[in-house]
Amino acid sequence: MVLTGEEAKDLLDLDKRIQRNFNPKDNNIVDYDRVHRTKLSSTPWIHPMIGRYSMTFYRIQKVDLRIEGADNIPKDETVIFAMNHTDRFNYVPFQCHLWMNRKSLDHPFVTIWVKAEYYANNFLGKVLDICNCIPVPSKAYLTKRFFKARWGRKPKPEEYRVIRDFVNGQMSLDEALAQEPSSEAKYMFGFRREIHDYHPYIMRRVTEISANALENVGLSLIIFPEGTRSSSLGKGRTGLVQLAYQTGKKIIPVGCNGSDKVHVGNLPIARRGSNMVYRVGEPIDPNGRLSEFKDDHEAATEVVMSEIENLLDEEYRRRPAPPN
């Protein structure tokens, strides 16, 4: 997936235009260069330390933490864990369990895709780097950060919506202007390409780093296919299965139940006496069960999401669509 000469030239041109027009001086912005500089370790020293502290704290708080189906995790083989995303910290106990039981499970260390928004805080960003995380910016993130870099404020909800719909091609220019957007939002209309075309380049780099982690560094990877937090299972995005097809790595579905009731605040502090259970499903082989969907990533993603749903309690499963 190395950039061709033409692609490298296009990326450089986009980057120059972004620097010239938005001048993002914020060192914490997750752009192509920031993602490109991600360094991963096969043996992150901080993981066992965090694991011991976290698991001790869960015991002190009398949290009933269970992992069901751990035998489904392949031994001595990197995999992609696909987990539902109920809250900010629902991956932590599962990851700690893997860290603390590496010898008995015979499983490698794990990295994780983390939303770029969490890197806005310089200290937290450095912690995430030390913790072997991969920053993943969304198109929405880039839109909002470029807007703020230009105008010194966050876009209002109505400004963001009209910019988003125009950039994504859901509105023509005339339709967008008919919404009577602010002058700041109208300015952003002139940079549709900078937002729309820049994001795929970043995601290609995220994919390269992830593939290298799985194939060469020796790390497994946790991905939340929904891409956002929700108590009930949402629609999955196709990036996970695309990575699985590219690397040939198995997908391990994981259903997380109860974490949103354990981690009720903005800090990773467990509620005393709460309980949570992770159910680990059977491996999904991209060259086996998913082989018939190589040209239909939406269908392949639906297979994964259905497997996750089968591992969830009723309250965390997909909600029926409202009647028309």
pLDDT by position in tens, the chain (length 324): 567 888 888 888 888 888 777 765 666 788 888 999 999 999 998 888 888 888 899 999 999 999 999 999 998 899 999 999 999 999 999 988 888 877 777 888 999 999 999 998 889 899 999 999 999 999 999 999 989 888 989 999 999 999 999 999 999 999 999 999 999 999 999 888 888 889 999 999 999 999 999 999 999 999 999 988 999 999 999 999 999 999 999 999 999 999 999 998 887 888 999 999 999 999 999 999 999 999 999 999 999 999 999 999 999 999 876 665
What pLDDT is recorded for position 322?
65
What pLDDT is recorded for position 49?
87
Determine the Cα–Cα distance for residues 28 and 206; give it in Å rounded to an integer. 17
What pTM was computed for the model? Answer: 0.91
Q: Is 25 exposed, middle or buried (0-12, 13-18, 19+ CB in 10 A)?
A: exposed
Contact in structure between 149 and 24 (CB atoms under 8 Å): yes
What pLDDT is recorded for position 28?
75
SS3 126: helix
DSSP letter for each residue of 227-275: SS--SS--PPPTHHHHHHHHH-PPEEEEEEESHHHH--SSSS-PPTT-E
DSSP letter for each residue of 55-81: HHHHHHTT-EEEEE-GGGSPTT---EE
Tell me the domains of the chain and their CATH numbers: 5-156+197-316 (3.40.1130.10)
At 177, the amino acid letter reads L
What pLDDT is recorded for position 24?
57
| Residue with tokens 């189906």, as numbered in its chain | 69
Determine the Cα–Cα distance for residues 25 and 171; give it in Å rounded to an integer. 31
Please enumerate in sequence order all residues whose Cβ is within 8 A of that of 176, keeping only pairs 6 or more positions apart, or say none. 162, 165, 166, 189
What pLDDT is recorded for position 323?
63
Determine the Cα–Cα distance for residues 29 and 82; give it in Å rounded to an integer. 27
**H-state helical runs in the chain:** 5-22, 32-36, 46-60, 92-100, 102-105, 122-130, 139-151, 157-167, 173-177, 183-189, 192-196, 198-212, 239-247, 259-262, 297-309
Rounded to a whole number of angstroms, the CA Rg of the chain reads 21
SS3 147: helix
At 141, the amino acid letter reads Y
What pLDDT is recorded for position 213?
97
Backbone region of residue 129 per phi and psi (left: phi > 0; alpha: psi in -120 to 50; beta: other values): alpha
What pLDDT is recorded for position 2?
65
| Closest by CA position to 278, among listed 306, 231, 311, 250 | 311
